[in-house]
Structure 1
Amino acid sequence: MNLTLAGKTYVVMGVANKRSIAWSIAKSLNEAGADLVFTYADDRAKKSIDELKTSLNENNHEAPVVQCDVNDEEGIKKAFETIKSAKGKISGLAHCIAFANKEYLTGDYLEVDRESFLQAHEVSSYSFTAVARTLKHLDMLTEDASILTLTYLGGERVVENYNIMGVAKASLDASVKYLAMDLGKVGVRVNAISAGPIRTLSARGVSSFTKSLSIVEEKAPLQRSTNPDEVGDTALFLFSPLSRGITGEMIHVDNGYHIIGF
């Protein structure tokens, strides 16, 4: 089967810069001929996207870049109404959004305050459900659509200093399963990619990130760190007809580190 997504539109949320996993996903989709739409949270991200998309195929040089505040229900609705007006129905969406107060990405988890706990869950977990619901209510998804999000091993196991983000990722992981059940009724697939440690802007906020990277490179079966392009290509697979029987799944792209017991 020739893997091409020409003529299909995909929304990529969460590109911050060229190191973003979201950008690697966008590149893989672009190489498969897909039409892209980007959402952004602030002007700095928009500037990065506007610069980066000039390196894509000609059909994506003018890809829409739409502001979307995932903390605001009306903001989400407005953003996707804008996207629907410009592109019609979409074949998929990559949710690559997470946030936690850096103060609580070190030390003991039990010290987290209520506000920071709720904020991490709202941005990192609930936003995926809010976006999925908006897509359904606006009838924006094609019958064979696929949506995905990014998670991490820290939602399954204790990872030093991941703390509140680990708890939020556990919430996100559960949401993937329930969303897969709900959206499966209309033929839409929902999955998650659990990537190994990658040098991204958000990863640097975790105080023990460099240590985690070294441990993975030493102990993973393939004895190397995760390349973001590997995540991008896995996303491409999950968006493509090749994965048409897969939903509610978490796929680890970490060179096998997740199988290690100690």
Structure 2
Amino acid sequence: MTINAKTNDFPIEKSSKPKSRTDSNKFRGLVLGWILPIVLLVSWEAAARLGLIDTYVFPAPTIIFQKIVEMAQDGTLWGHISITFLRVLIGFFAGTFLALILGSFVGYFKWFEQLVDPLIQAFRSIPSLAWVPLFILWMGIGEPSKVLLIAVGVFFPVYLNIVSGIQGVDRKLIEVGKIYHFTSFQIVRRIILPASLPSFLVGLRSGVGLGWMFVVAAELMGAGQGLGYLLVVGQNTYSPELIMASIILFAILGKLTDALLKSLEARALRWQDNLQNQQ
């Protein structure tokens, strides 16, 4: 890697991959990604129709899909999805913001890591459900306690990846920056941030995944609406199709948000000369 002494910038080479090849790879990836879900659904439906599984506790996909359609038609589905998505969104941004601030200081300043990191690692070992009674005691069963629980779940993977990304920056790159008289701000902006960006984006994807997991625990705290609430309703009314419908909706929403972040990651890291960008 070379540095342009006049502009103090790293030259970025444009990818020479043809657009048609990129589109072909995307289409192939889309097709391959649907193979296993389709095989699973077809096998599941066949097993239910042939009586190989007990449909009372494990309903067929068509029954589950019918339940989702019924909720969509009577309008209740969109309210449950929107409130759950809003909780995850607010908790995700709150947890990410705090992780970005603390992780940057911990990763860059050794003394701050020695001061703060041991306590954070101790908190990371606490199970998610252990926070539930404490948050209810502090804030009741309203929205703040639910959002805070989600933010806690998002915080730790984002924090760990930010710290790891910053501390993993090659020291030689920083030395080269100093040779070209980069200021501390320029070293952070032009060397440390780009070098730690891949790890940070992986942390975001891990964080949003845990956000969807923690929202279930959050919505068990006396929620009156949301996909987690539907799980409780399905359990109390002995409706396995409602429980399965809620689980599938969680899977779909989680996959969509992860795909969005993965697309953002691919766009932000197109400058990397790695195996992923060459395929």
Question: Normalising TM by the smaller chain, what interval?
Answer: under 0.3
Q: For CA contacts below 8 A with separation 6 or more, give which structure has more relative contact order.
A: 2
Determine which structure has the larger helix proportion and give its number. Answer: 2
- Normalised to the residue count of structure 2, the TM-score between the two structures is 0.24
- Normalised to the residue count of structure 1, the TM-score between the two structures is 0.25
Determine which structure has the larger strand proportion and give its number. Answer: 1
